[in-house]
Structure 1
Amino acid sequence: MTDAAATDWIAVDWGTSNLRLWRMAADGTVLERVEGDAGMGRLSPEDFEPTLLSLLPDLKARTTVLVCGMAGARQGWIEAPYLSVPCAPPKAAEGIAVPTEDSRLDVRILPGVSQNSPADVMRGEETQVAGFLALNPRFDGVICLPGTHSKWVHVSAGEIISFRSFMTGEIFELLSQRSVLRHGLGQGWDDAAFAAAVDQAMGRPAGFAAELFTLRAEGLLHGLSPDAAAARLSGLLIGMELSAAKPYWLGTSVALLGASKLVAHYRKALEAQAVPVLIADADRMTLEGLKAARKEETQA
C-alpha cells in the first residue's frame, strides 16, 4: 500500500485512449504507477475529476496534480492553450488551473504546442520531448515520435523549432480494418516485404494508391501471404512518411520515442537510409518531461 503522506505531487499523462498516473515523492522517486483505460475519448468534462479521484482513494492533503496530454484538448477536461514555436517545452507555471469540487486537488494542465505554418498542433508529445531534452540537454537534431499521428520535431538549444505531423498510424488502422485490404491482412510480419515496400514508396511515391490495391490483387492471384501483405502495407505508409519528412531527417541524427514494436520498424527504415538513430523509452520520457516541468516551478 502506498504511503499517501509521502506523496509530494501527482504526474498524469491523460491521452485519448488511456491515462497513466505516477505518485511522486519530493526527491523525484516514483511511489506508485497506475494505468487505466479512462482516456479523454470516453469522458465528458464532468467525468474527469471523479475519474482522477478514483485512482487516488487515500489522498490526504491538498496536492498538486500536473497533467499533460489530451485532457487539455477542446473536448477534454478544460481547454489548455498552445505555446507557439519556436518555444521551450511547457513548464508547470504555464499550466492552466482546473476548477475542482474537491479541495484536495490542485490540478494544472500543461499547454500543447502549435505551429502557424504549416498549421500543426501537438498535445502530450511536447512533454516527451521535454523529457528527452532533460536527459540529453546537448541534443540538437530531430525527435521522431511514431504513433497514431507521428510527429517529427526539430529541436535546437532546448527549444522546439518546428514540427510536422503525419496520420500514418491512423491511416494504417483505417485501411487494415475498414477497407477491402482487410480481407488479406494477417497479424504476423515479414521483414523483407516491409523493407521492399519502404524502398518502393520512397522511390515512387506517386504510385502509392495503385500499390495499395496491388496488395489485394496479389493475394487473390499470386497467393501473397497475409503476414507479408500487412508488412508491405506498413512499409508503404512509413515509406511515404519518410519521403515527406526527408527535410527533417536528412543529414542529422534522429531520436525515436514510442512503442517498441513501431519504433523498431521506423529504425529499420531510417537505418536503410544511413540515418543514425537513438532510441528512448516513451513512457520514461513522459515522466521525465513532467518532472522537468515541475522542477522548473519548484526552483523558480
Structure 2
Amino acid sequence: MTRWIAVDWGTTALRITLMSGDRPLDTRASGDGMNALTRDAFEPTFISLADDWIDGNIQVFICGMAGARQGWAEAAYRTVPCSPLDGGLLRVETTDPRLDVRIVPGVRQVSPHPDVMRGEETQIAGILRNISDLDGVACLPGTHTKWAHISAGEIVSFRTVMTGEIFATISNHSVLRHSLTGHGWDEDTFLSAVSDTLSRPEHLTARLFELRAADLLHGQDAAIGRSILSGLLIGSELAATKPWWLGRDVVLTGSPKTTRAYECALKSQGLTPRILPADEMTLAGLTAAKEHP
C-alpha cells in the first residue's frame, strides 16, 4: 500500500500522520502553527518533523491554515453551496523534489452573512465519508465553532461562533480569571446556565459579572463558576444558531471534553447528536481529498 502524509496545520499547532492507504501508521505534533512561521519557513518546518518518513517521492495532503494568505501557499476559498472538496486542491511548488504537496482550499459564504472556514471543510468531508447520506448539521466545536448545514453531499450554509475563544479570553485575561481557576465542571450547573441564556440571551453580559460577585460574596467554587460560564456562552451560541440545529439531525465532531459539553446542551433541547472523533474525521477527510479526482 502506498504511503503518504496527512497534515493538519492550524494557527498554533502542526499535526502530521504517516498513512498507508486509509490507515494511520504514526502521528507527530509540534507547536509550529501558522502564527509562528513566515512563508518560507513552512517547507523546512515540515521536513524537520517528517524527514525520516520521506523515502523517495511522497504525496503530502494538507488542510488548515497552511492554505491561508499568510500560510505556505494561499488556497483560494470556494463558495457555498459546494461539496467540501469541490474545485480540486492547490498544488504547491517545493524546493525539495521529493515532495508532492497539495492543500485543501477553504470555504466561504458571501450571504446572508460573510463567513469562512479552513480545516473544518476537511472534517466535514470526513463526516460525509462516514455518513454519506447526511441531511442535517455538522457542529464542529472549538476555538471558533462551526455549524454547517449539510445536504446532498454539500455544505449549504454555515455559521461561525467564537465561543471557545471568548471562554479562553474571559477565564484567562479578564477580571473573572480570579474566580475561574482549575478545570472542574458540574453538569447540572452547566445545563441550568444553558437554559437561562437560551431563554434570556440579552442578560448574558450581566450574568457574567455575577460570577465575580458570587465568588467575592459567597466564596463560590471555581468549578461552579467555570460551569456557569461555559453554560452561559454555549447557551448564547445555541440561541444564535437555532435555525441550524432546531429539528435537525446533528453530528458533533470535536475534542472529547468540548464535545461532551455540546452533547449535554443539545440533549437538554431534545436532540440526540451523533459523535464522531475530530482527529479521525480530519484523517478521513484528507484521505477523501487524496482520492478526489
User: Which TM class, normalised by the smaller chain length?
Assistant: over 0.9
Task: Determine whether 1:227 maps to 2:235.
Answer: no
Aligned to 2:91: 97
Aligned to 2:171: 176
* Paired residues of 2:136 and 2:151 also in contact (CA < 8 A): yes
Cα distance in 2 for partners of 1:28, 1:158 equals 21
Cα distance in 2 for partners of 1:203, 1:156 equals 29
Cα distance in 1 for partners of 2:199, 2:215 equals 23
Aligned to 2:25: 31
Deviation at 1:56, TM superposition (A): 2.3
Cα distance in 2 for partners of 1:220, 1:267 equals 32
Letter of the 2:166 counterpart: I
Task: Determine whether 1:198 maps to 2:194.
Answer: yes
Deviation at 1:223, TM superposition (A): 2.1
Deviation at 1:7, TM superposition (A): 5.0
Task: Determine whether 1:294 maps to 2:290.
Answer: yes
Q: Deviations over 1:88-122 (max 9, x none)?
A: 0126x711121211111111111000000110000
Letter of the 2:245 counterpart: W
2:15 to 20, 27, 33: 20
Task: Determine whether 1:153 maps to 2:160.
Answer: no
Match of 2:29, SS state, is strand
Letter of the 2:31 counterpart: D
Cα distance in 2 for partners of 1:57, 1:159 equals 36
Q: CA RMSD in A?
A: 1.3
* Paired residues of 1:202 and 1:240 also in contact (CA < 8 A): yes
Deviation at 1:274, TM superposition (A): 0.2
Q: Deviations over 1:46-86 (max 9, x none)?
A: 11101111122232322221110011111211111011000
1:120 to 91, 95, 115: 115
Aligned to 1:3: none
* Paired residues of 1:83 and 1:90 also in contact (CA < 8 A): no
Cα distance in 2 for partners of 1:29, 1:192 equals 40
Deviation at 1:136, TM superposition (A): 0.7
Deviation at 1:8, TM superposition (A): 2.9
Give 1:1-300 correspondences, 5 Å limit: 8-25=3-20, 27-58=21-52, 59-90=54-85, 94-117=88-111, 118-187=113-182, 188-297=184-293
* Paired residues of 2:7 and 2:16 also in contact (CA < 8 A): yes
Which stretch of the first structure deviates more once superposed, 189-198 or 265-274?
189-198
Deviation at 1:29, TM superposition (A): 2.6
- Count of aligned positions: 290
Q: Deviations over 1:12-52 (max 9, x none)?
A: 11111212212222x42323222222111111111110111
* Paired residues of 2:85 and 2:292 also in contact (CA < 8 A): no
Match of 1:196, SS state, is helix
* Paired residues of 2:13 and 2:30 also in contact (CA < 8 A): yes
* TM score, norm. by length of structure 1: 0.94
- Which ranges of structure 1 fall in alignment gaps of 5 or more residues? 1-5
* Paired residues of 2:5 and 2:60 also in contact (CA < 8 A): yes
Match of 2:17, SS state, is strand
Cα distance in 2 for partners of 1:35, 1:7 equals 22
